[in-house]
Structure 1
Amino acid sequence: MSYDVLVPVDGSDRGFAGLEYCLASFPDASPTALFVADPAHDHTATVGSSEPTAERAQERGERVLERAADRADEYGRELRTELRTGTPHTEILAVADEKGADHVVLGSHGQSPITRPFLGRVSEAVVRRSSVSTTVVPETTAAIRDRELPGEILVPLDGSEQAEAALADALETFPDASHTAFHALDLPFDRPRSAVEGTYLEAVLEDRESRAEEILESAATLADERGATLETETAPGAPAREIVEYAESGGYDQLVMGSHGRSLAARLFTGSVAERVARRSPRTVTLVRGAPA
């Protein structure tokens, strides 16, 4: 079965990091590099230049796509290229739909003074509106090249169908990776077990631990059915923060998680935890859409 991956590139290092990730992670896929010439945001213009902005943007796009094709050649891969003119996120979504892309991989741009790294204007719009699974690569090209992908993958689970779909996707897409299923207990208090024993909070803790055990047992069963090995871990804390911190402290190479909901409204706004993780993670994050097989 053909697996088509769309990789928007804009000439920046982060854009090419997305291509690097795609070439390393999907060796059997059919990749397409897309450049969107956006005359409204032309940063290459020089004083006194007589060349029309649209032509200048088109020429830059051709150069960027040529570089992308050269990089694919180094992998011994054929890369299709597409050059469009318009608003980047609108064209990315349109091409993904027109070409029947199964997956979109894109670099993350920009930084927020509050949270670093932070999804850029284009990547955030694509993440929120894409109807297919999306990978956000916040790392540099050099960092991706130095990483042995797929590496160690952390799969956050919350008991939802979308999270289970993400686990199934990670196991099937990256069979050679090391997989860990992770559940954040999301306790309504920040106290050690010894401090809640004998209080009503102990029942809350036991309930969360029991649910975590059920979720991870279900994950282990899913992995067993696929002949895969799965590590399981839990930790107390708010899910988004705990997922990002656990992935970083554990040295994981990437995260794969469910993006909640498949309705039109859900396409416009991903699950709050998934979005926060995609915004804050210094590691590559894939948001999987769809129900488990």
Structure 2
Amino acid sequence: MRALCATDLSAASEATIENETCLRCLGRIGVRTVHLVTVVSGNVHPGMPGVDFEARRRRGLDRYREVIEAAGFGVETHVVRGTPYRRLNDIAETVHADLALVGSRGQSPLLNRVVGSTARNLARTTVVPLLVNRVERAADDPDVLREHLFRHVLFATDFSEHADRAFGAFSYLRHATEEATLVHVRSPKDDGPDGDVGPAERLAERASTLAGWGIETRTEVRRGDPAEEILAVEAEVTPSTVLVGSKGRSRIRRLLLGSVSEDIVARAAGNVFLVPPPRAT
């Protein structure tokens, strides 16, 4: 597997890249090559007085390369120009990445309503599964909040094709997963008949699959606002990562805020693994 790792050479990025436990977790799920990518703003030009951003960023990437190669991965580095989330998606498609990794301190609820961080913009538009690795917010030298990326996975499902696709990620995450919590939230519009199989039984089917892989699993059906209830479960069980599927990107969706997956990315206390629809061929 190939992983794209986005970095702006900040302390938050460094916490994600240089954490040995996080790197071992990536190795367990099958990552063998890491593409380190940093994006220089298109407004910065080499000829500007006192500016040598590209050279500085290459030096920073070379330092990260040494750390990642020492952990046993192959490494390629990329310094590109433009809008971060657009260029990161471009590189992901070019190198055929299997997943992307970005560190995030999170933002205040107000700021999330006004301006999107790179992590949130990627959540709206990502072309590959995206791991948002949460780091300490108010620290000069931050550390990651959940070192074991996939030890305990909280999987949220509405039983849609998007959720089923996210569940499929367990085919490789299971090599680093010991526990899983499966949750379905019934909203008021779901008050009609469940059909032949109710949500508890459908969760039990998925739990049986994980149990066959040796993963200790619990299930929970809740009622209320999906994002609020998923975040409430996260607060109760403290998983390493919340696993959710997204509906993908559209021109309209990129202008709107408030989908369940975007709310989870913006507000979750720990890591979020977001699985989008397959890339168009």
Q: What TM bracket, shorter-length normalisation?
A: 0.7 to 0.9
> What's the CA shift string for 1:35-66, capped at 9, x where partnerless?
11225369xxxxxx943x3xx11122112202
* Structure 2 equivalent of residue 34 of structure 1: 37
Please state if 1:249 is matched with 2:269: no
Secondary structure of the 1:79 match is strand
CA contact (8 A) 1:260 1:271 kept: no
Q: Distance in 2 between matches of 1:264 and 1:120?
A: 16
Q: How does 1:26-65 map to 2 (within 5 A)?
A: 26-27=26-27, 28-29=30-31, 30-38=33-41, 40=43, 50-51=49-50, 53=51, 56-65=52-61
Offset from partner CA, 1:175-213 (integer Å, 9 cap, x none): 34111211123347xxxxxxxxxxxxxx949859x7322
8 A Cα contact 1:134 1:286, kept in partner: yes
2:186 corresponds in structure 1 to 185
- The code of the aligned residue for 1:103 comes to L
The gaps in structure 1 that reach 5 residues or longer are 43-48, 189-202
Which stretch has the larger CA shift, 235-244 or 107-116?
107-116
- AA aligned to 1:273 is V
SS of the residue 1:174 aligns to: helix
Residue in 1 that maps onto 2:219: 232
Identical positions, percent: 23
TM-score w.r.t. the length of structure 2 is 0.79
Structure 2 contact 106–266 (Cα < 8 Å) conserved: no
Residues 127-276 of structure 1 mapped to structure 2, 5 A cutoff: 127-140=123-136, 143-144=143-144, 147-177=147-177, 178-187=179-188, 204=191, 211-223=198-210, 228-261=215-248, 264=250, 268=254, 272-276=259-263
Would the aligned equivalents of 2:113 and 2:257 in 1 still touch at CA under 8 Å?
no
Q: Does 1:66 align with 2:53?
A: no
Q: Is the 8 A contact 2:265 2:272 kept in 1?
A: yes
Query: How much has 1:282 moved relative to structure 2?
Result: 1.4
- Does 2:14 correspond to 1:11? no
Contact 1:93 1:130 in 2 (8 A): yes
TM-score (norm 1): 0.76
Q: How many residue pairs align between the two structures? A: 264
Q: Which residue of 2 aligns with 1:121?
A: 117
Secondary structure, aligned partner of 1:285: strand
Q: Which has the higher helix share?
A: 1
